[in-house]
A = this chain, B = another copy of it.
Amino acid sequence: MSSSEVAATTKSDRTRAAIRDVALRSFRERGYDQTTIRLIAGEAGVSVGTTNYHFASKNDLVQELYLDVQTAHREAALPLLEASDDLVERLGIVFRTGLSQLGPYHRFASEFLSAAVSPRSSINPLSGDSGPSREIVVGLFRDAVAGASDKIPAEFEKDLPAALMLGHLLLALFWVYDSSPGQERTQRLLSRGLRLLKLSLPLVRMRVLRKPLRELLDLVAEVGA
């Protein structure tokens, strides 16, 4: 941050950032259930009213967490993407760097899942509120597809990133359930899935598969809509 930006920071901005930082650390250290606005206010040295002024609910702070995680995801993925022009390798980079960001939250993952899984939850990854962090992931998959030397049929390229984002959510669901050390089973599932994709990719050019694949992608694209 340049000194002029620091100078432009208001007291209100600094208070907001402090509350946010405390909340993100609390989610990492206490999980979702044990994090309360009262605890956050106390640790940030402000009143509950001030916390509520900046963030109307705990779930607004979860959205800050989502943005923080996905921003770090993008920062981890982009330099690695520069090193490969192979489509499946590039997808693997986006999936793997995404899983890495989740690592510190695994012991609390079932709490976040229970709170987020309802279609009515504001922190559901497919909710309107989650749009900005979701778009970071879709954008990463779009970059991964667009920068690959092996081209997929143009008719699939548009909707593939949103479908891959849903695939990433399903992988994260598997990961929540994965109690193996370091969640190595999720890593194996991903590696095998990528290998299968590598072998299957030439098949998308088969005319007999194009129509049902097209229809499936249309439907999957609707899920996030």
Contacts and interface: CB of A to CB of B under 8 A. Distances in A.
A118 B185 CA distance: 18
A219 B192 contact: yes
A110 B119 contact: yes
Given A126-B177, A195-B212, A199-B209, A185 B119 contact: no
Nearest to A126: B177
Contacts of A48: none
A196 B213 contact: yes
Interface in A167-224: 170, 174, 176-177, 179, 185, 188-189, 192-193, 195-196, 199-200, 203, 208-209, 212-213, 215-216, 219, 222-223
Chain A, interface SS category: helix
A223 B113 CA distance: 17
A72 interface: no
B222 A185 contact: yes
Given A189-B219, A192-B212, A192-B216, A177 B113 contact: no
A199 B208 contact: yes
B174 A223 contact: yes
A170 to B, nearest CB: 8
Nearest to A124: B177
Nearest to A191: B215
A11 interface: no
Contacts of A185: 219, 222
A127 to B, nearest CB: 11
Nearest to A174: B223
Nearest to A115: B114
Interface string A114-158: 100111100000100000000000000000000000000000000
26 contacts: A110-B119, A110-B120, A111-B118, A113-B118, A114-B117, A114-B118, A119-B176, A119-B177, A185-B219, A185-B222, A188-B219, A189-B216, A192-B212, A192-B215, A192-B216, A192-B219, A193-B216, A195-B212, A196-B209, A196-B212, A196-B213, A196-B216, A199-B208, A199-B209, A200-B209, A203-B203
